[in-house]
Structure 1
């Protein structure tokens, strides 16, 4: 089955304007832009036929072309990354069996997260959309809770049923647990990894639906599928000792740089 990874990137983020071009310094002391690190992560995934950056901004396009990325220009009317992926597929005029949306704010996404996600969709022919979830250890959960206490929008959490189909996603920490966890303790909270795999028909349908109230309240694009009754398969992935965090706020830059250095990433 043919696979394309699309990295949607926009400059005009309301919470963090210019985020794709923010630089992150790794273990070697070299500073690379967020979009460059996301591109490098995508290129390290096995079994992928094509990787493209999808943007509506010339500054991002020029930066990407400078390090050799393929770029597809999309409309400024796209409301989120899923809509941008759908438009990219139309603009390319190429057929793929699976389209992966690797959002450009998750440079710490390991290759196996995406490989396991694609395999999960392959293994479930009735599923049209899938996304990875990562069981948190205490260190990550405590970071999520600290963000909420300090009024920051941190990572997204997911809850799902016995069939592994998503029940809900939230920027609040769900499910509630009143326990205290040590850094290495396993917890019942799953961190939603901001990656999606779609079959083309489901992706092309998405922009035709108006955003529902839950999507608008949470600011989470995947809720449009749930509000339309489209199941979303949650594929549990393993950390394997790696840390994972998205760049959502300026305060996340030093946190991610520390993780890059701790894991030895240039």
Structure 2
């Protein structure tokens, strides 16, 4: 993808899962690799390694990235979330790509075609600040989200959007509420939001200028800052993909992700 820079924000001090970027994940060859390396390898299916950077403020993560040959940009500890970290990374690198892709470091199963579609959609819709994917849940994914919610864990994020494919709301709760018959469908009408965004550099600067919003703080979802500020967010919907695109949000997600890595033959 020409004109595209991929930034992978990574922080060490996660309240839910400290040191998460360094958590080992075993793939098809029984070799353990840290999460940040698997996220980097996912990014290399999308873009040339020369246009991929891990953005972090922690030397332990930076050392791990350098050990497997990745590029690092050190960012400020004050970055409140991955989008702010992307903005800081671009400023520190001194680059002005056409589009910046934020591939979050806990989403190593993100399909390459999803990212390509985000970039294409952003280029086609100059009136939106960013684009992000919404994938129709398979029953197994929906059950995983509901189980996390019942147990009081924060699992994946869901999104609802209008007919114009503009986001209405994102939540760490499972939305919309489904009656039993809809919840029992093989593909319930719930859309999982994957942790990947495509922005123009100007949108990143605008995001920082907006400042933190209340709903962003309450939900703990960075993308809500755009909605709170009245900025349009484009949603690119996808039918269910042929494997569960689970993000590593909790230690309990390690087993399911490793199972997918092995079933897909990912080393």
Residue 244 of structure 2 aligns to a residue whose secondary structure is coil
Q: Is 1:131–1:234's contact at 8 Å kept on the other side of the alignment? A: yes
Mean Cα displacement is larger for which, 230-239 or 177-186? 177-186
Q: Is 2:127–2:232's contact at 8 Å kept on the other side of the alignment? A: no
Q: Is 1:6–1:52's contact at 8 Å kept on the other side of the alignment? A: yes
Instruction: Report the counterpart of residue 107 of structure 1 in structure 2.
Output: 108
**TM, length-normalised to structure 2:** 0.95
Q: Using the alignment, how far apart are the partners of 2:50 and 2:180 within structure 1?
A: 45
How far the C-alpha of 1:95 sits from its partner, in A, is 1.3
Aligned length: 266
Q: Is 1:52–1:70's contact at 8 Å kept on the other side of the alignment? A: yes
Q: Using the alignment, how far apart are the partners of 1:183 and 1:72 within structure 2?
A: 45
**TM, length-normalised to structure 1:** 0.96
Q: Using the alignment, how far apart are the partners of 1:74 and 1:153 within structure 2?
A: 27
Extract unaligned runs of 5+ from structure 2. none
Mean Cα displacement is larger for which, 1-10 or 181-190? 181-190
Residue 174 of structure 1 aligns to a residue whose secondary structure is coil
128 and 157 in structure 1: CA distance in 2 versus 1, 3 angstrom threshold: same
Instruction: Report the counterpart of residue 222 of structure 2 in structure 1.
Output: 221
Structure 2 matches for 1:54-69, cutoff 5 A?
54-69=55-70
Q: Using the alignment, how far apart are the partners of 2:189 and 2:49 within structure 1?
A: 32
Instruction: Report the counterpart of residue 260 of structure 1 in structure 2.
Output: 261
Residue 211 of structure 2 aligns to a residue whose secondary structure is coil
Instruction: Report the counterpart of residue 250 of structure 1 in structure 2.
Output: 251
Deviations 1:92-142 (A, max 9, x none): 111101001000000111111111111111121222211011000111111
Instruction: Report the counterpart of residue 124 of structure 2 in structure 1.
Output: 123
Q: Using the alignment, how far apart are the partners of 2:124 and 2:88 within structure 1?
A: 26
199 and 49 in structure 1: CA distance in 2 versus 1, 3 angstrom threshold: farther
Extract unaligned runs of 5+ from structure 1. none
Q: Using the alignment, how far apart are the partners of 1:89 and 1:136 within structure 2?
A: 33
Runs of 4+ in 1 over 3 A off after TM superposition: 46-49, 180-184
Deviations 1:26-81 (A, max 9, x none): 11101111000000000111588711000000000010001110100001000000
Aligned CA RMSD, in angstroms, stands at: 1.6
Instruction: Report the counterpart of residue 161 of structure 1 in structure 2.
Output: 162
Deviations 1:168-207 (A, max 9, x none): 0000000110225788812210000110111111101212
Q: Does residue 1:88 correspond to 2:89, yes or no?
A: yes
Instruction: Report the counterpart of residue 234 of structure 1 in structure 2.
Output: 235
Q: Using the alignment, how far apart are the partners of 1:183 and 1:28 within structure 2?
A: 36
